């Protein structure tokens, strides 16, 4: 299969032409941007400074050295170059615009099935067992996610709640930070981030961990900031072309949901009669008060 070619030359040219004259700290920024040039720079200047352990002033100086008015101008330049990329970047590479619906359906089914198989094959089941144990005995579980990852966190919240777990999910960085500060020993914080670079989620998990809570992440990058602040890492398959500019990755989401369902089944089996009673209560309530056919 041919690798997709991305037109990011203009952005990279600026970096490469200026690289030899950059300071050591600025080269650290250049190296990061070149390594991740096929990803949307979806962080603030403060978050990038924290990620690279540099000052915001250094990043601002770097942007001006490359000829940009500031950090936002640099981000816009990268986004513009990415928007010129050929094709749709968030769909499986073997699905073509010219494919008939039946062909798309078959290819999509194969792709998503393979993503789950690969996740299962590479998942550390000891980590899954530990995560299940911590969730089942937790006084409170909080789930964090941003964008499409929040949909996964919300689904987990829905499942765990009906199984009898005291849990809640948050998508807003302010609330993630505030509520994480209220957690302590006996609590669990779960962060979902495919790239592992969602700094709101990173900060919330870090705060929760410092307060004594057990931190769990679902990510594709075990070297990411999210993984580094998590006690338990549940890994989905990495991708070779992480370009979140066009939306979420289908394979990533189905892999994350597979892990959530795996944790849910583990928890209800672990709790046994407690979960059975909780599920029965929620089912009875929904049938009584939320049945549109009655």
- CB-count burial class (<10 Å; 0-12, 13-18, 19+) for 169: buried
Both 126 and 257 in a single domain? yes
Tens of pLDDT, residue by residue over 244-258, are: 444 457 788 999 999
Asked if residue 195 has pLDDT above 60, the reply is yes
Both 158 and 184 in a single domain? yes
Burial 19-33 (b: 16+ CB within 10 A, else e): eeebeeebbbbbeeb
172, two tokens: 């807003």
**What whole-number distance in Å separates Cα of residue 156 and Cα of residue 259?**
10
Assign 91 a pLDDT band (cuts: 50, 70, 90): low
Asked if residue 187 has pLDDT above 70, the reply is yes
Q: Could you tell me if residue 96 is inside a domain?
A: no
Asked if residue 21 has pLDDT above 80, the reply is yes
CA dihedral of residues 14, 18, 23, 26 (deg, nearest 10): 10
Both 71 and 109 in a single domain? no
Q: Give the residue from 30, 48, 83 where a domain finishes.
A: 83
Parent domain of 192: 101-289
Both 73 and 135 in a single domain? no
Task: Quickly count: other Cβ atoms within 10 Å of residue 181's Cβ.
Answer: 13
Both 64 and 136 in a single domain? no
Q: What is the DSSP string of 231-293?
A: SEEEEPPP-S---GGG---HHHHHHHHHHHHHHHHHHHHHHTHHHHHHHHHHHHHHHHHS-TT
Q: Give the residue from 83, 113, 146 where a domain finishes.
A: 83
78, two tokens: 């990268």
Tens of pLDDT, residue by residue over 117-135, are: 999 999 999 999 999 999 9
Task: Quickly count: other Cβ atoms within 10 Å of residue 142's Cβ.
Answer: 27
Both 53 and 168 in a single domain? no
The better pLDDT of the pair 94, 50 is held by 50
If one counts the domains in the chain, the total is 2
CA distances from 278 to 91, 234, 240 (A): 39, 27, 42
Assign 286 a pLDDT band (cuts: 50, 70, 90): confident
3-state secondary structure of 191: strand
CATH number of the domain that residue 219 is part of: 3.40.50.10490
Both 108 and 186 in a single domain? yes
Task: Indicate the pTM of the whole model.
Answer: 0.68
Tens of pLDDT, residue by residue over 68-89, are: 888 888 888 777 666 555 455 5
Q: Could you tell me if residue 225 is inside a domain?
A: yes
Q: Could you tell me if residue 241 is inside a domain?
A: yes
- DSSP code for 81: H
Task: Quickly count: other Cβ atoms within 10 Å of residue 91's Cβ.
Answer: 19
Q: How many residues does the chain have?
A: 294
pLDDT for residue 83: 56
């Amino acid at each position: 299969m041919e690798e997709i070619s991305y037109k990011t030359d203009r952005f990279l040219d600026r970096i490469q032409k200026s690289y030899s004259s950059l300071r050591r700290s600025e080269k650290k920024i250049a190296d990061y941007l070149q390594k991740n040039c096929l990803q949307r720079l979806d962080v603030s200047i403060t978050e990038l400074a924290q990620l690279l352990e540099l000052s915001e002033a250094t990043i601002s100086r770097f942007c001006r050295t490359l000829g940009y008015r500031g950090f936002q101008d640099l981000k816009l330049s990268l986004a513009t170059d990415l928007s010129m990329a050929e094709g749709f970047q968030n769909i499986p590479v073997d699905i073509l615009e010219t494919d008939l619906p039946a062909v798309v359906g078959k290819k999509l089914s194969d792709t998503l099935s393979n993503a789950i198989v690969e996740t299962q094959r590479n998942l550390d089941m000891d980590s899954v067992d530990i995560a299940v144990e911590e969730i089942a005995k937790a006084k409170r579980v909080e789930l964090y996610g941003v964008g499409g990852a929040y949909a996964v966190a919300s689904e987990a919240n829905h499942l765990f709640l009906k199984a009898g777990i005291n849990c809640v999910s948050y998508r807003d960085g302010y609330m993630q930070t505030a509520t994480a500060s209220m957690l302590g020993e006996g609590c669990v914080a779960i962060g979902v981030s495919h790239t592992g670079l969602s700094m709101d989620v990173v900060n919330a998990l870090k705060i929760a961990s410092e307060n004594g809570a057990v931190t769990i992440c679902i990510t594709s990058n075990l070297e990411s900031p999210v993984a580094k602040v998590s006690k338990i890492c549940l890994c989905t398959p990495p991708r070779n072309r992480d370009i979140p500019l066009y939306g979420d990755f289908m394979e990533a989401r189905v892999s994350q949901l597979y892990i959530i369902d795996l944790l849910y089944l583990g928890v209800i089996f672990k709790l046994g009669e407690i979960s059975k009673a909780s599920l029965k209560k929620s089912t009875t309530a929904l049938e009584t008060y939320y049945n549109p056919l009655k």
